[in-house]
Amino acid sequence: MGAEFIALPECATSLHENSTITKKLAKPELKNFSLQTLMALAKNNAVYILIGSLPIKLKNKITNRSFLIGPNGKVLCKYDKIHLYDVNLPNGEIYRESDTYSSGNKAVIGEIKENKLKIGMTICYDLRFPNLYQDLAKNGAEIITVPSAFSNVTGPHHWHTLLKARAIETGSFIIAPAQSGKHQCGRISFGHSLIISPWGKILSDAKKKEGLIYTRINLQEVTLARQAIPNIFSKKTYSTNI
């Protein structure tokens, strides 16, 4: 295929609902086998790899961290998930990601220096917070990654709609690699890894299948979309006296 950029989903190498197991398996970056292995793979194949996320142990907490790895095998940048999945779903399911992870507090844009390409990094539940995506686009992000393990309850109703909205409103390519199917822990993820154009067109959809999707990206589409509808650069303010 000749891929130059490979993106993996959230919890790329392990996914557990039991926070005790997740905390036990979490390692610091230097001791994280998955991270070190994927860094070596990036170098050996001279490709960029977006690790959707790994549980990374810090001093007295763990964080849900995404990594952008360069073709030299080094970490170019990393992003800690800001918005943690603390929800009460209509079917009675309750998730408290904050029981396991500490949230990040900083938006991150990675840069591929060869062509000055800027990649905004987000993770799963961040998708529901459009201001983050607008800020990334305003600061130059042309591609925004959304690695996910999206719920099978909300996925059929929200996944495609939210991702298309984020692409359209920011004029960005959206790359959203997603977990799919039933996991060993019993959890079911919605699947449907997607690549979406700045105009909101779905370029590739993995549906419920396990495997790979791919496409060629023309960054000129970002320029054209933002010139056509320059909404993210508007400086208009609004009265709050409603």
Rounded to the nearest 5°, which phi and psi values hold at 68? Answer: -105, 115
Measured distance CA(17)–CA(27) in Å, rounded: 17
| Phi-psi map region of 39: left, alpha, beta (phi>0 left; psi -120 to 50 alpha) | alpha
| Of 41, 5, 47, nearest in space to 173 by CA | 5
d(CA 103, CA 53): 13
**Residue labelled with tokens 């997607």:** 194
What are the residue numbers of the active site?
10, 81, 124
CA 75 to chain CA mean position, Å? 16
CA 129 → CA 41, 135, 216, distances in Å? 33, 11, 28
Distances in Å between the Cα of 69 and the Cα atoms of 4, 61, 177, 197 are 12, 23, 16, 23
Max CA-CA distance within the chain? 58
Please state, in angstroms and rounded to a whole number, the distance separating the CA atoms of residues 68 and 51: 6
